[in-house]
Amino acid sequence: MIPDEMREIFEEFLVEARENLEKLETDLLELEKDPTNQEILNSAFRVMHTIKGGAGFLGLDAIVETAHKAEDILGKLRNGEISFSDTINDLLLKAQDKIKEYLEKAENQEELELDKELISELEDVLKNPDKYSTEKPVSSKEEETKPQTSEQSFEETSNDPVSKLLKKYGFEHLIGKSIEEILEELVLMPPSERPEGLIQELDAIINASPSKTVDNVSQKKEEDIAKEMEKTSVSEDVKSAPKESPQTPSQVVEKKEPPKQTHPKEKEEEKVLRIDVQKIEALMNLVGELVLDRNRLVKVVSTIMQSASENNEQIKGLDDLESVLSSIDRIVGDLQVAVMKTRMQPVKRLFQKFPRVVRDLAKLLNKQIELITEGEDTEMDKSVLEKLEEPLIHIIRNSVDHGIEPPEERELLGKPRTGIIKLKAYYQGDRIIIVIEDDGRGIDIEKVKKKALEKGIISQDRLEKMTEKEVLSLIFHPGFSTADQVSEVSGRGVGMDVVMTTVMNFRGTIDIETQKGKGTKVTMAFPLTVGIIRALMVSIGNRNFAIPIYSVLEIIQQENATITTVSGEDVLILRESTIPLVNLADVLGIRDSKIGYVIISQLGNQRVSFTVEELYGDEEIVVKPLGKIFGEIEGISGATITGDGNVVLILDLAGILKRISHGVRV
């Protein structure tokens, strides 16, 4: 349990620890591709050490113990005492998952119970490395010929005095570690337990060392220590040491005046300010109100100018008012874009979860698969990003299980043994596109038809009239699956309907392309923002409504539209394609409405047309919830206030389709 006075520090630790765990997972997966990469090994070691230090400061013993064992393994890997293997990496990833689980429990104020079985497995790697390594670790003879790092040379020249000091102060467990690691470990201890005397004597050894190499190493490490101390809020304790005492590590940094060059990454981190999401939402709401008032002001000024023009009046200051309005319009627009950008996050935060998913599933199914990600810097609204993880996991699991063939089968087909799954994101106009593509066996269209008939999802007559795209859309039907048997990975018929629901909830679209034996491509498109949107203003009868502009593909005047009936259903014939037609007046229960225009919309993966009476152009609107009194109404996504001050309902065309399928009017 975290005490109240430490809660703020814990919350900061929680954010950093989760970011570090994501970084650690990426490093461990990269190590499988390049086990000898010393830079990645060092990075993984530092991350685990940082997590251990922060957890120790907060008294999270289960995390400290788990991280400590994993850190020891990483330390031996980077020193060449243990050789990297998939089995060792599986255990390190297991430790990472366990730490993540501990963080969740700590956040919920639950007790952390040490996983003794995992600790035992990690200890076994340290005691019996040969059992887990694919190669023998570097022998002592090889070690003599191996080029020495600055860290190793220092350990050999100062091992005796350092060991004596550690024994003197009761820190024998640190014997064998480099002096910079020892200093870092000591400084990260809680202030009440930190042995200042030992730190000062170790610092004296550093200053007394004639080796320039040592000097450079210790200087670099001391800078890292100072940063860690600042992160764990213990720097003030070190600064308060008496002036006459030997210099502490942080003071040595000052004395040596390290180069003032700063890495670009460090500069970037200094500019980052974490802000509570609630504050961003409040700011977004205020900007929304400002946009509404801007629209009303535009309408008022337009009315005044029109009146003056009709009456040939010269109103003093009207030109100045128009100029000011133009300036306000521009500033509000820029402010709106700036605030919306604060809600945007790079898709990298989402994409970095999937290499682990693909790796684990590929191992489970004995397949060789490489995941390639592109466009990770593409940004999208946080609210959409957070909901996309589950749909993407379903699609990727299908690619791994049903799409990519086993290595032997791929070889017989003349394909590389390793299958490829591509995950990419990019902008297209005011939409963000996410694509999942594989080079597997593709979707068997005939099998989809057969399964759809077996499950009674569609009739034989209707199936014969469907295009290939329409047949593919059947896989989004709840309970649909082409798998012949259920596995622990897929085949239960749940998943793709979840994908469709999520896509439609965020007013997105989804499209599937497949080629038998070549692969499958799933393309999803989402609006960049969800709070302030452009909408097409329409009327049905004497009622005005708003339709989000991004769901409108095409508009046709009634006299140019070919409307007919097929199997008792109204359809629009457009360029030899048959598109279902929905009369919005009938669905909304509005009488005495004429058909003036037909709006063609892309909903999910299908095109649907809707009839309206009049069009009034497009307008920027702020989506407001209907409130607790009305709750959520399927077919109505919210309301807005137009420039003339009227409240207008925003139609959710996807929701209206659901209503029709349920036989319910809005």
Distance in angstroms (rounded) separating the CA atoms of residues 92 and 101: 14
Residue 510 and residue 391 in one domain: yes
**What is the secondary structure of 453-492 as a DSSP string?**
HHTTSS-HHHHHH--HHHHHGGGGSTT----SS--SSS-S
Calculate mean pLDDT across residues 96-109: 90
Percent of the chain with pLDDT over 70: 79
Find the Cα–Cα–Cα–Cα dihedral 445, 448, 449, 450, rounded to 10°.
120
Residue 112 and residue 156 in one domain: no
Question: Which of the listed residues 241, 274, 307 is the one where a domain comes to its end?
Answer: 274
Quick one: pLDDT at residue 526?
Answer: 84
Residue 471 burial by Cβ neighbours in a 10 Å radius (0-12, 13-18, 19+): middle
How many domains does the structure of the chain reveal? 5
E strand or H helix at 82: none
CB under 8 Å to 8, separation ≥6 — which residues? none
Nearest Cα residue to 496 out of 408, 371, 350, 391? 391
User: The domain that contains 545 carries what CATH number?
Assistant: 2.30.30.40
Answer yes or no: are the C-beta atoms of 393 and 365 closer than 8 Å: no
Question: Which of the listed residues 304, 320, 342 is the one where a domain comes to its end?
Answer: 342
Quick one: pLDDT at residue 208?
Answer: 65
- Residue 272's pLDDT band (boundaries 50, 70, 90)? low
Distance in angstroms (rounded) separating the CA atoms of residues 558 and 239: 79
Residue 562 burial by Cβ neighbours in a 10 Å radius (0-12, 13-18, 19+): exposed
The model's pLDDT over 160-196, given as tens digits with 9 standing for 90+, comes to 677 777 877 777 777 777 776 777 677 666 666 778 7
Residue 170 and residue 258 in one domain: yes
Lowest mean pLDDT, pick from 349-353, 419-423, 594-598, 638-642 = 638-642
- Residue 235's pLDDT band (boundaries 50, 70, 90)? very low
Dihedral of CA 118/121/126/130: which sign? Answer: negative
The model's pLDDT over 308-360, given as tens digits with 9 standing for 90+, comes to 777 777 777 788 888 888 888 888 888 877 887 787 888 988 898 899 999 99
Residue 119 and residue 244 in one domain: no
Residue 557 has phi, psi (to 5 degrees) of -70, 150
Q: Which two tokens stand for residue 271?
A: 């500019």
Residue 36 and residue 73 in one domain: yes
The model's pLDDT over 213-230, given as tens digits with 9 standing for 90+, comes to 344 444 444 455 444 444
Residue 265 and residue 376 in one domain: no
Q: Which two tokens stand for residue 592?
A: 């005495």
Q: Is the pTM of this model over 0.85?
A: no
Quick one: pLDDT at residue 538?
Answer: 92
Whether residue 398 lies in the annotated active site:
yes
Containing structural domain, residue 564: 532-662
Distance in angstroms (rounded) separating the CA atoms of residues 94 and 117: 11
Quick one: pLDDT at residue 464?
Answer: 78
Answer yes or no: are the C-beta atoms of 507 and 500 closer than 8 Å: no
From the DSSP assignment, how many helices (H) and strands (E) are in the chain?
A: 27, 18
Residue 336 and residue 393 in one domain: no
Q: Which two tokens stand for residue 658?
A: 């659901």
User: The domain that contains 493 carries what CATH number?
Assistant: 3.30.565.10
Nearest Cα residue to 498 out of 524, 466, 462, 521? 524
**What is the secondary structure of 113-167 as a DSSP string?**
---HHHHHHHHHHHH-HHHH-SSPPPPHHHHHHSPPPHHHHHHHHHHHHHHHHHH
Question: Which of the listed residues 146, 181, 215 is the one where a domain comes to its end?
Answer: 146
Alpha-carbon distances of 392 from 71, 355, 434, rounded to whole Å: 32, 12, 10
Question: CB atoms < 10 A from the CB of 568, how many?
Answer: 5
493 vs 375, higher pLDDT: 375
The model's pLDDT over 7-58, given as tens digits with 9 standing for 90+, comes to 888 888 888 888 889 889 989 999 888 888 888 988 899 889 889 888 888 8
Quick one: pLDDT at residue 411?
Answer: 93
Q: Is the pLDDT of residue 245 over 50?
A: no
Q: Which two tokens stand for residue 147?
A: 């080029």
Q: Which of 79, 295, 398, 605 is catalytic?
A: 398
Pairing verdict, β 379-381 and 344-346? antiparallel
Q: Is residue 257 classed as helix, strand or coil in its secondary structure? A: coil
Quick one: pLDDT at residue 481?
Answer: 67
Q: Where are the alpha helices (DSSP H) in 554-647?
A: 584-588
Q: Which of 20, 22, 25, 49 is catalytic?
A: 49
Distance in angstroms (rounded) separating the CA atoms of residues 403 and 365: 12
Residue 3 and residue 18 in one domain: yes
**What is the secondary structure of 154-172 as a DSSP string?**
HHHHHHHHHHHHHHHTT-G
Quick one: pLDDT at residue 629?
Answer: 65
Residue 448 and residue 500 in one domain: yes
Q: Is residue 555 classed as helix, strand or coil in its secondary structure? A: strand
Residue 122 and residue 84 in one domain: yes
The model's pLDDT over 391-402, given as tens digits with 9 standing for 90+, comes to 899 899 989 998
Residue 10 and residue 137 in one domain: yes
Residue 264 and residue 319 in one domain: no
Q: Which of 71, 437, 613, 619 is catalytic?
A: 71
User: The domain that contains 281 carries what CATH number?
Assistant: 1.10.287
